[in-house]
Chains A and B, each alone.
Chain A
Amino acid sequence: MSTDTSDASIDDAPSRAELAARIEDLEESLGATTEDDTKKMSIIATKGTLDMAYPPLILASTAAAFGYDVTVFHTFWGLEILHEERSKDLKLSSVGNPNMPVPNVVAAIPGMDRVTTKMMERRIDDNDTASIAELIETSLDMGVEFQACQMTIELMEYDEDDFYDEVTTGVGAATALQEMADADIQLLV
């Protein structure tokens, strides 16, 4: 449409009213894109030991306190955290953990996990650190969405009723991926 001659471009120049309408359109579309400025966080929780249950729950509840929309997708051993009964009895393994106060050769003795777990539980209690159950309940109160991977539920032969009531089941990798694509922060724990 436009030509290189300056006269013609003046003729083709949009009118004031056209420009005003265009600005209005642009402002409208800008408004639509910035309307939802709520930040989102998506965490994939794959571990079910006592120590590894903490990071996703602490980050999820804290992000919710910031006003973020938070989704935690639990898969494989991460499901233990959402299992109402098993979440209260998560274990700590001292085997292969050089930070534990027992050498591997001792750590491998049957019953040692129970001992190290008790030790850790006592410390958590003495330090007034929140329990896993407390963090789950607080997170739920603050609107965190916990999702349980359907494939792993079936693999572990769990029943949907085994999980906390508010847990979303019947979701898979595509759901998790979609949440991650929409999120400002994505973490795999």
Chain B
Amino acid sequence: MLSSLPDAFAILMTLEGLLVLVLGTALGIVLGAMPGIGSTVAVAMVLPFTLSMGQAPAIMLLLAVYAGSVYGGSIAAILINTPGTPQSAATCLDGYPMAQRGEAGLALGWATVASVIGGLVSAVVLIFAAPQLAAFALQFGPIETFTLILLGMTCIVSVSTGSLVKGLLAGMIGIFLSTVGGDPIVGEMRFTFNNWQLFAGFNLLAVVIGVFALSEVLMRASAQLSTASELVDFKGVTLPRLAMWKGRRRTLGKSVLIGNMIGVLPGTGAATAAFISYAEGRRSSPNGDKFGTGEPDGIIASEAANNAVTGGALVPTMALGIPGDAITAVMLATLTLHGITPGPKLVEDNPTLIAAIFAGFFVINLLLLPLGLVLSRVAAPILRVKEAFMMTAIVLLCAVGVYFVRGNPFDLAVMGAAGVAGFILRRQGFPMAPLVIGMVLGPTLEITLRQGLILTDGSFWAFFYGHPIALALGLISVFALIFPLLRQFMSMQRRSL
């Protein structure tokens, strides 16, 4: 893949390539800074507009919005004590106290540099780790692929918010939705109930936007209406001088490492990484006792880790076709919409495309520095925009976006229904990521299961004899499912003592 880097840079250095990188990162920073939008909604909103683009610019635009929004979340966290994205919640703890002391510019400076370093290191990890993992996964037949998808789904479910059972149930609903329409092997129609609109199945994008964006608007409407927040005094970002980094490099290094490691695990996400890194920073930093009072190490720990997750989460997504979280599930959906089959063969079949995406991701993280410096001043007044205007605009833009995919008004009705269903399920604590991931991975899961059953003469248990990789993946899947139950049982035992 490294040999494809010159061609990849040729794609990046076109006017379209550069525009996509700069505008996507800028848009991501602004959307990420708006409380209530978040990375997943931001990426889902932009997704439909990528359909008129080529494969590489489309994915790069989404990556730019993703990385930009993760950084953008820190602007709201520091200036109004409201994280723009859940990943930035830990940044509030020290960012806002610093801003209250009149050091908002410096707090954003720490956040900017930590985010850029975290993102750049994760881009390097992505460039080197993803092809190795993909090369290993090329040995996989249908049985190994089936158990790999099973492992990915169990990991995602076992760490998703809410209960394990609800996560699994959401995954089943997503897999079921993927079965509506033509059977992938014999072509017979299933669950269409003579409605020709369902012959091609549910539009993935309409469901994704419904369950993430529209349901978010409804969730906001069900909570107390928020008023525009008070903004602290802010005159622009001040980058920390080199001497100020003394004694903080260790925290930075550890946080980047934690972010990358957690990012690679399917289902964990940037918010988890930020809080684990923050806790580790408080434990090991020489300034640990000052955490929570406006300590720069707290900002570094949170921001370096949450941005380092972005590249890490892309490793299983690009190398194995297993999304790390809801955002990477949306990315996989984009690949599918652009006619690319996610999975281990993706890297081998599309080396230039993958190299362009990886190189683009590196450039996006570099762009965070200049764009962050400029746009944090622009984004600050946007934080005063009332929730009503943002939520209404989200629905209008989602309707436009969903209609564009196929020009079919039926997709809008699907989006509406998915939004209402997503709202009802989210209120009961159902995580939405397993639903979307189930819908993305469902067709591959079905095909590989049925192919595997042909290979083993219909014996499911024979999947694990003579297939050591499948056996290992199956055992890890069982452990991933049992572990949270064991933990829950042990904590109940401890409480009863």
- Asked if A and B bind, the verdict is no
Mark A residues whose CB is within 8 Å of B. none
